[in-house]
Amino acid sequence: MKNVLYVCLLVFFTSSLFAQASENKAIQAVRAVLKTQQDAWNRGDIDAFMEYYWKSEQLQFIGSKGPTYGWENTLANYKKNYPNRDAMGTLSFDIQNLTQRSKTIITVLGKYTLVRKNDQPSGQFSLVFQKINGDWVIVLDHTN
């Protein structure tokens, strides 16, 4: 009977370790996306920055002017609001919380800061990443 209990405990702890390892892998993948986005922004490449948003009309971006729906509309807004390198400045993220909610959903809470010649705007953001077709993409962005 003791052997059965030991086997059950071993299976339980082993599965927990595997679950944590896959969670860590997913979290690491999202951290890599955020780093890649930050680097793209700082090169002045809005198109590369947008590669990690869901290319769908169902993408939701909520900013200070209200919601925007769709990848194309979100890209157009970024290009309108940040027409050149001076307007884009240098972006940095301060990730405050990154939580895997399920095998396919990760949420991110953080702060962004833009350093520009004449100002340094900053604010908070929350992102919902979803794993779609094997890639982690932003499906909802709420930035203020």
Please say whether the beta carbons of 60 and 67 come within 8 A: yes
> In this structure, what CATH number is given to the domain that contains residue 115?
3.10.450.50
pLDDT average, residue stretch 72-87 = 97
CA torsion through residues 63, 69, 72, 76, sign: negative
State which residues form the domain around 7.
Answer: 2-143
More confident residue, 138 or 22: 138
As a whole number of angstroms, the distance between CA 111 and CA 89 comes to 16
The total of structural domains in the chain comes to 1
Which token pair is 40?
């793209």
Q: Tell me the pairing of strands 122-132 and 105-115.
A: antiparallel
pLDDT band (50, 70, 90) for residue 2: low
**Tens digit of each residue's pLDDT (9 = 90 or more) over 102-124:** 999 999 999 999 999 999 999 99
pLDDT average, residue stretch 53-76 = 97
Non-local (6+) Cβ contacts of 91 within 8 A are 38, 41, 42, 112, 113, 114
pLDDT average, residue stretch 55-59 = 98
Please say whether the beta carbons of 107 and 127 come within 8 A: yes
pLDDT value of residue 7? 39
pLDDT band (50, 70, 90) for residue 1: low
pLDDT value of residue 92? 98
Which of 142, 136, 121 lies closest to 34 in space, CA to CA? 136
pLDDT value of residue 16? 44
